[in-house]
Amino acid sequence: MRSVGLVGNKREFSRIWCGKGQNYLRDYVGDDRLEATVPCVVVGRLRERLSAVAAVAPAGAAREVMAVIEGIDRSVQIEMFLRR
């Protein structure tokens, strides 16, 4: 996201994209929780914001963002299946 100019740093990602405190991503990575389940509310916020970007992005970029959203959706479906 940084390379395409959607976010400047981890703090911005945490605040704007995840709707959390500025150290959310840093703490998540620092606490070695990369295999942990991300709360549904955070996933929902991220997906919502990515969908808004896709709606106004040029066609090529919109396709790339939609591919990320589809990956999120697949991951959520798998996680829900595994919870059963």
Q: What is the pLDDT along the chain (84 residues), one digit of tens a residue?
A: 887 788 999 999 999 999 999 998 888 777 666 666 788 899 999 999 999 999 999 999 999 999 999 999 998 898 889 888
| Two structure tokens written together for 57 | 């992005």
Chain Cα centroid distance, residue 54: 13
- Angle, nearest 10°, between helix axes 59-83 and 40-56? 160
Residues 6 or more apart whose Cβ sits within 8 Å of residue 78: none
Looking up tokens 């606490």 gives 31
Structure confidence at residue 82 (pLDDT): 86
